[in-house]
């Protein structure tokens, strides 16, 4: 696909490879440049620090090849 994509294009072509959280998060952006599709994704957990994306000290869990923005 050509970049950038709209959130709608990203959902159409790659939605099955994104987490539920990412599918709602990308709607906040007008342009999507990177989705981190080769990353071993974190699937959010209710009640944990930032839904599982942060550790107990508030530091972001770094995942190789994942995105920090889109």
How is the chain split into domains, by residue range? Answer: 1-37+44-70
pLDDT at 61: 76
Confidence (pLDDT) at 67: 77
pLDDT mean over 37-49: 77
The answer to whether 14 touches 35, Cβ cutoff 8 Å, is yes
* CATH architecture for residues 1-37+44-70: 2-Layer Sandwich (3.30)
Mean pLDDT of all residues in 49-67: 79
CB neighbour list of residue 56: distance below 8 Å, 6 or more residues apart: 49
Mean pLDDT for 7-35 is 94
What is the predicted pLDDT for the residue at 70? 64
Position 34 pLDDT exceeds 80: yes
């Amino acid at each position: 696909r050509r970049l950038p994509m709209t959130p709608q294009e990203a959902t159409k072509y790659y939605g099955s490879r994104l987490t539920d959280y990412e599918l709602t998060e990308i709607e906040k952006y007008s342009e999507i440049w990177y989705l981190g599709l080769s990353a071993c994704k974190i699937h959010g957990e209710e009640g944990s620090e930032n839904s599982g994306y942060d550790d107990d000290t508030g530091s972001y869990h770094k995942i190789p090849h994942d995105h920090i923005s889109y």
